[in-house]
Amino acid sequence: MSGFPWFDYRRGRLHAESVALEHIAREFGTPCYVYSRAAIVAAYREFDAAFEERDHLVCYAVKANPNLAILNLLARLGSGFDIVSGGELQRVLKAGGDPQKIVFSGVGKQAGEMRAALAAGILSFNVESEAELMALDRVAGETGRIAPVSLRVNPDVDANTHPYISTGLKENKFGIPFGEAEELYARARRLPNLRITGLDCHIGSQLTGLAPFAEASGKMLGLLTRLEALGLPIEHLDLGGGLGIRYSDETPPAVREYVAALCATTKGHSRHRILIEPGRALIGNAGVLLTRIEYLKHTPHRNFAIVDGAMNDLIRPALYDAYHEILPVMRNRRRGKIYQIVGPVCETGDFLGRDRKLPLSQDDLLAVMSAGAYGMSMSSNYNSRPRAAEVMVDGDRACLVRRRESVEQLFADESMLP
């Protein structure tokens, strides 16, 4: 349990901070996402404090978990935000986020999203292609505004992570090819409705070593030096996010070690503000998916624990073959069996955990750990399943921060042919 300090057993019952998860299940039902406020606060403060006196901005990657309560909590702590859609922009503004602490990433920004971000007065657009640059200049001109711009450069660095979440290789869709960046910056400077503000990169997610960060930073600093030699006014250096967390036996760098490496690499550029975009590292281990066993099914080949949570609630195992530790909410001394932890969705890929040795009985509660990031944010209504409730624990209080959907809500906007 050392990897989950905000979730621990007390008298054999798993707690989130000072609230027993069985009490949350009783009050709010299952499946249910449960977050620890203290874990989120501690994670943000660890990043913020690690920079010490270096000018910086920690921009939470909203795609990791966009719940308004989480965004509001981070906004009150002083966090910035990394968004990838107009919907995320609206969420951040609704939650009280400062527009001047928002960076807008993503390869497919639409004109309407650009207009909304310009009207809000965001810190920077992280532009990912020449076509987007031209579109942003046109939209800014139509609205009578000047768009602040960073180019997201693809440094062609192998992040050594799952191919679906690697974003910094030349074959990925993200960013501007490294060899084309100088020419495009020079072109951006000549466009009348743009103002160059920064230089940006992001190489992937769930990185567990410092070498890829160091390689990418080194390439970006070389490019920064060349851009400034051309007289381009670079105010900030956005080094992206991607720091991994422990799901099972990973050993990612400590936050202080990661930040120290970034600061050391950029020591000769101390006048530039550093931006980073952590998501998973802020919220991943601050949440669990709480689920109940509906049935135990024993066959000559395998034992199945069929739970009420499913791939529509947490798709990471099915999508990435990702591992999440699964713990019994009520600890017991019964002898365990090897189980496949599966959901009720009609897909063989609907599983939350494979080959787990657990002492289980029907109606037992299980906690799927490290589910704070890319859990609820990637959930769906597949099989017409309402999305789960979300609960935030603050000390000895459990607050509902998203009601469970009803089936009626799923088809409320549909209509039949006349």
Q: Which sequence positions are flagged as catalytic?
A: 346
* CA angle in degrees (0–180, nearest 5) for 71-279-89: 45
Q: Tokens 């051309």 correspond to what residue? A: 230
**DSSP state string for 10-47:** ETTEEEETTEEHHHHHHHH-SSEEEEEHHHHHHHHHHH
| Angle between helices 111-120 and 130-143 in degrees, nearest 10 | 60
Contact 260, 221 (CB under 8 A): no
Q: Give me 317's structure tokens.
A: 């195992």
d(CA 25, CA 371): 16
What is the dihedral angle through the alpha carbons of 75, 387, 389, 242, rounded to the nearest 10 degrees?
A: -40
The Cα 174–Cα 134 span in angstroms is: 17
**Per-residue CA distances from 137 to 20, 29, 209 (Å):** 53, 49, 38
133-152 exposure pattern, b = at least 16 Cβ within 10 A, e = fewer: bebbbebbeeeebebbbbbb
The closest alpha carbon to 260, from 88, 54, 41, 5, belongs to: 54
For residues 311 and 349, the answer to whether their CB atoms sit within 8 Å is yes
Q: Alpha carbon 47 to chain centroid distance?
A: 15
Token pair recorded at residue 291: 């689920």
Name the amino acid, one letter, at 140. Answer: A
Lookup result for tokens 């060899």 = 179
